[in-house]
Amino acid sequence: MSLIDFINHGILPFMGREATAQRILEAVARIAEAPGLHAMLMTGEAGAGKSRLIEEAIRRAEDAGVAVIHAKLYPESPTAIAPMLSSAIWRYTMAHPATNVDADDTLPSVASALRRLSRLRRLLLVLEDIHLITGEGVPQLALLLQGLSDEQMVLLCAARPVEIPVRGVLEPHLVDEFPLPPLDRDSLREIWTHLFDEAPTSSVIELLMATTAGNPLALRSGLRGALNAGVIARDARAGMWRVSSNSTALKNILERGVGSLTEGMAAHLQPEERRAASSIAALGEVVARESAAAMIGGDLRTMDILTFKGILTPLDSLIPHLSGKASASPLLAFTHSLLHRRLADDHQADMGRLVEVIAGGLPLFSATPFQLLAAAETLPQLPTDVARDAIQRGLDIALELDNTADWPLALQVWNGTQRLFQHIEQELEPEPQQTLQALMLIRRSNLLHRDHDAFQGVLDDLLRVTANPSSNQMWFYRFSTLVNQHLHSFNRTGTPDLEARSGIEALAKERPHLQFTQSYVAYLWQRLYIGSLEHDNAAQREVESIMERLIESDEANDEFRAMLRSSLYPILIDLFETEAELHKRLEMLQELERMPRQSNYPDVLHCKLVLLFTIGKMHDVATTAQETARVARERNLLQNLYFALRCGTAAQGMTHLPMERLAAEAKRVADTFAEPHTQLQRDHFGYQLATAAALRGEHDWAERFEGEYMSDWKKFTPLHRRVHHAIRHDGLQELMGEEIPESPQNNLLCELAEVVVARDAGVAASSLVEQIQQASLQPILTLPMLLINRALLALLVHAQKFPELQPLTDPLTQDLQRMVVADLEWCLQQRLPLGMAGALQQFEGLLPKREATRWRGTMQNLLREALPHHSDHEQGELRLAMVGTIEVQLPSGETVKPRGERLRVFLGLLTVDAMVEKRLTQRELYRLAVPDMSDPDDIRKSVNLTVHRLREMMGHEAILTDGDTPRLNRSAMKIDILEAYDHLQTATRALSEGVLVRAQEALVKGIGITRGEVIFPTLFEEFFQAAREDYENRIRLLAIRTARSLIREGDSVRAEELLSRAVAAMPTNGELRELLHETLRKLDRHVEAERVRMEAGG
């Protein structure tokens, strides 16, 4: 770095920070030693050199082959973490397309991309100026880090030494925290010598230290001031730089430069250059070249001068733009936040040009332009059409911001557009003025949904402004306002606004086209949501009939029908009272699953899990819970993740786990619940675990789970469980004195319990017998219905102990038998032998002896089928995972991760060895396994020790050593990537034989195993990189060849299924996307084809 660079650009040489840069690089190098997210926090004052140090650390890390994702936050610009990292990931992917990493602007997508990248490369994630993350950005970062907590990466954060709102988020992952100290005397001496080719005197060093305190920015400002003033000057005759003999002059210059840092940074500008810099500063700290040029009348020469003089600098990273098209050129940023703020405060910008930039759709990266507009006391005369375009763009920007963690900026943008509207309001004709005013208020209502009182005030203004609509647009605004009023009233008071509802219905009838809008779908969703909360089945069915009419209407297009289904089906899923209705809900679920996997895919999985759990399909629950948990982890949806883990655990308890194992697994799952969700999740978990135990007749365990997990037993325990508890502990009389929610089932249980407590059937006997008989005839549709029936049976068995209750129990003998048989048949249908065992344990005495024996035989047969390997339900099989993670699942069900890089590498090598056509030689295997040793005896001992440790972990039979090299024993374990590889082999053979259906099915199975996850994750050696590339290339080529052959044979449906799976696994592959697009068009699915094309372009 030369003196010329310093004079012109203000760039100091990188000195005095070597140890800190090395500290970062060593942390990255140690990633594999202790898996997990390792966070480092570096703090430093403004001008301490944080950005310069990060720039150097990134350069060195990239030279070492580390993947670096770098995002920097800027004041007054969006700080939503997802879009920022998405842009940084895109930039990395453009430079490294082979990584096949893609991310949109959502947190789940970013987490998934970082997860994938960390499994492909050593990863350094850099977040600069994280003290700017506030508000909703804090929980968003928390979700991201929680989703990445098990991945191998280093997170380097830089911040000012102020209160850091995200500190609590970083703490669980923090392994190193250090301040960036000032430059010491030796560093100052080294920098001076490098710049001026001569060591400074000790007095100069002491003066620099005293005036700059070792702050690099202060040093830069002071030295430039001294150079400009001639206090440091070159002696042409001696060919040397000399300091003025007047030490006071140097001291004064340094102190002035340091005392006014920002002025010092701009002191070398000419007046016209300063005006241009101030105009550009009105756009924000980060600007697009074309926007900056527009602010200064297209004067590109001045922009180049500002860049040359160190005011602006090219930005080599990307940050999300607020709106409009992306910049066609690299972005520019002011070299320091303090400098930008000082120039913006000059207020020399042409406000007319600023409005033109906004209106013209040029890229913007900051809310600063709108803040300046809102604060402007006067505005110049503006063309009305330009002002209206600027208003529209500002409203669009505000709406986009409101859906991010940067929503507080949205109101600032709206305030700027409001100032513009006030400026031109009197120049508009009445109808355009009223329409624009309504749009302004609609957008403000969108932004104020978090503030109930302010939101209601805007709704009142909208109802007034739209009271007499004069155009279709105003009718729509009126309609949308009534929809918002309807739900807002319910959210505030618990009661929907019936006047608003009447208005909505009247408008929908008067103007039918309004029924085919997103607002009407939102209204129907509100009606369903309110009906579900109030258990108003009639209201929900009314909405369902409206939905069906709209779906069947000729006026509805496919997109609207899909919107209706995706919005309303999830709420309707659990609304059924008959077998026919249940069948209809299952068909709805299938329709939802056939729809393209959009952002609501987690909701679809969630409602599927709810339905399956409710109707007792526990084997399906177990598999669906795995998929739900996988998607929830990818998208950082903690509530969905916890629900999936709870359901999956309870389902295992109902299908096979012994109670002790269930308790241990439940504890493991419950330990993952994080605040603030911990107790609520434990409450619901307690209910599910008690349900599993009750199904099995294990009431002691049910009570143990309730006591261990529930904070309020009476609140979270349903009446059927409380009845069992009361019978077991002689507490029926006490139960009758408690408050019990009303429902037909609860009312029947309570009435029967009261009779049992009173020991007097009396005149109520005949009525009660009739009610119980009617209940016994109802089909069992759900697990809760089954358990309610069991509580009814338990009460009646208890009543049989009292002779005075014979008028009640004797007439019900056949009905009780029918109820027990119905219970057993339901458990048989759901393939729940442990549930059958629970029913027989409690109620076998109600059946004729021969029938009871027959049912016991059926239960034993089913138990043997369901648990063929184990009499006590514990036997499993050894599994090795090489897809997405490297871990071993032992036959006991315990999951073990190999500790240490050498074990993981060796397992990976043995797995690749089973995939390649020509096995690795001993020399190749040993060289790859132990690259850091050269002595043959040491290498052999190391390999033997590795095999020994793996056998200790996996069992002796897992690894065979009867040949030249160790190999995996595939007969003793299942290995996911090898199972997928076998399917590819099958597909290859089938394709060569022309059996296309078999090839397609095999490929779909193979892709389904890997699911686009990284194979051999966290193994960064080139050998594994090559193995990954070969595997992906093989899938790609097989998918393309098979799909094209299917299309030629007229089977585009199978081709589309295969290509959809392949694109989901390799989303960045253009060839697969293009073929999928063509196939969808052949199938006349043009909307989906267009979406595939747009995703490829996006």
Angle of CA points 358, 348, 272, to nearest 5°: 110
CA atoms within 13 A on the CB side of 808: 30
pLDDT digits (tens, 9 = 90+) for 1064-1079: 888 878 889 899 989 9
pLDDT in tens, 966-993: 999 998 899 999 999 999 999 999 999 9
Measure the CA–CA gap between 944 and 664, rounded to whole angstroms.
35
Neighbours of 272 (CB within 10 A): 12
Q: State the Cα–Cα distance between residues 1031 and 1066, nearest whole angstrom.
A: 12
Q: Which two tokens stand for residue 33?
A: 């030693």
pLDDT digits (tens, 9 = 90+) for 536-564: 899 999 999 999 999 999 999 988 998 99
Going from the C-alpha of 885 to that of each of 118, 120, 293, 649, 1019, the distances in angstroms are 11, 11, 50, 21, 10
Burial of 25: CB neighbours in 10 Å, binned 0-12, 13-18, 19+: middle
CB count within 10 Å of CB 656 equals 23
DSSP H helices in 448-533: 452-465, 472-493, 498-510, 518-533
pLDDT digits (tens, 9 = 90+) for 1030-1040: 999 999 999 99
Q: Which of 644, 659, 645 is nearest to 705 (CA)?
A: 659
Select the more confidently predicted residue: 352 or 599.
352
* Torsion over CA: 575, 581, 586, 587 (sign): negative
Mean pLDDT computed over every residue of the chain: 86
Phi, psi of 500 (to 5 degrees): -65, -40
How confident is residue 4, by pLDDT bands cut at 50, 70 and 90? low
Residue with tokens 């939101």: 455
For residue 221, the surrounding DSSP H or E stretch is helix 216-229
CA distance 882 to 689: 32
> pLDDT tens digit string along 389-422?
999 999 988 888 877 767 778 889 999 999 999 9
Instruction: Report pLDDT for 870.
Output: 38
Joined tokens for residue 374:
């809102």
Q: pLDDT at position 863, please?
A: 86
| 582 has a pLDDT exceeding 90 | yes
Task: Tell me 201's DSSP state.
Answer: P
Summarize the confidence of residues 618-644 as an average pLDDT: 86
Give me the architecture of the 977-1097 domain, per CATH.
Alpha Horseshoe (1.25)
- Yes or no: is domain 17-179 CATH 3.40.190.10? no
Tens-place pLDDT, residues 262-285: 555 666 678 888 899 999 999 988
Give the residue extent of every domain in the chain.
17-179, 185-266, 269-408+422-427, 596-717, 879-972, 977-1097
Q: What is the mean pLDDT of residues 992-1012?
A: 91
**3-state percent breakdown (helix, strand, coil) of the chain, nearest 5:** 65, 5, 25
Which stretch of 8-17, 434-443, 646-655 has the lowest confidence by average pLDDT? 8-17
How large a percentage of the chain has pLDDT more than 70? Answer: 93
161's CB contacts (< 8 A; 6+ apart) are 43, 44, 45, 179
DSSP 8-state assignment for residue 958: G
CATH number of 879-972: 1.10.10
Tell me, what's the pLDDT at 869?
39
Helix (H) or strand (E) holding 243: strand 240-243
What pLDDT, on the 0 to 100 scale, is given for residue 255? 66
* Range 181-207 burial, b when 16+ CB lie within 10 A, else e: ebbeeebbbbbbebbbeeebeeebbeb
How wide is the angle at C-alpha 1059 spanned by C-alphas 1053 and 1062, nearest 5°? 145
Helical axes 271-281 vs 300-308, angle rounded to 10° = 100
Residue 840 has a pLDDT of 95
Total Cβ atoms within 10 A of residue 387 = 24
- Is the model's pLDDT at 1003 over the cut of 90? yes
CA 841/CA 459 separation, integer angstroms: 61
Neighbours of 142 (CB within 10 A): 18
Rounded Cα gap, residues 606 and 643, in angstroms: 8
Residue 610 or residue 202, greater confidence: 610
Q: Specify the pLDDT at position 765.
A: 80
CA–CA distances in Å: residue 699 to residues 588, 660, 669: 36, 14, 22
Note if the pTM is more than 0.85: no
| 977-1097 matches 879-972 in CATH topology | no
Weakest-pLDDT range from 330-339, 380-389, 474-483, 1049-1058: 330-339
Q: What is the pLDDT of residues 857-894, one digit of tens each?
A: 999 999 887 654 333 344 457 899 999 889 998 886 67
Vertex 525: Cα angle to 519 and 526 (nearest 5)? 90
Of 137-146, 412-421, 917-926, 947-956, minimum mean pLDDT range:
137-146
**3-class DSSP state for residue 293?**
helix
Question: One-letter amino acid identity for 81?
Answer: I
> For residue 633, which of 622, 647, 643 has the smallest C-alpha distance?
643
Phi-psi region of 297 (alpha: psi -120 to 50; beta: other; left: phi over 0): left
Whether the pLDDT of residue 257 is over 60: the answer is no
Q: What tokens does 181 get?
A: 């100290």
Q: pLDDT tens, 736-794?
A: 888 888 888 899 999 999 989 888 877 678 889 999 999 999 999 999 999 999 999 99
Nearest to 627 by CA among 611, 604, 661: 604
136-to-140, 280, 409, 639 alpha-carbon distances in Å: 6, 30, 12, 17
Q: What is the pLDDT of residue 874?
A: 42
**Residues 623, 628, 629, 634: is their CA dihedral positive or negative?**
positive
Residue 638: pLDDT over 50: yes
Determine the pLDDT at residue 875: 47
Task: Give yes or no for residue 355 having a pLDDT over 90.
Answer: yes
**pLDDT at residue 32 tops 80:** no
pLDDT band at 261 (very low <50, low <70, confident <90, very high): low
pLDDT for position 871 = 39
Question: pLDDT grade, residue 639 (50/70/90)?
Answer: confident
Number of neighbouring beta carbons within 10 Å of residue 801 = 9
**So what's the pLDDT on residue 702?**
95
Least confident residue range of 17-21, 65-69, 632-636, 981-985: 632-636
The confidence score (pLDDT) of residue 2 equals 61
**Dist CA 240 CA 238 (whole Å):** 5
| Residue 1000 clears pLDDT 60, i.e. is over it | yes
Helical residues (DSSP H) of 171-215, grouped into ranges: 185-196, 202-212
Segment (H or E) for 177: strand 174-179
Tell me the residue length of the chain.
Answer: 1098
Question: Using one digit for the tens of pLDDT, what is the confidence trace for 300-350?
Answer: 899 888 988 878 888 766 666 776 566 778 888 887 776 787 788 777 788
The whole-number pLDDT of residue 496 equals 85
Q: For residue 997, what are the contacts with CB-CB under 8 A and spacing of at least 6?
A: 1051, 1054
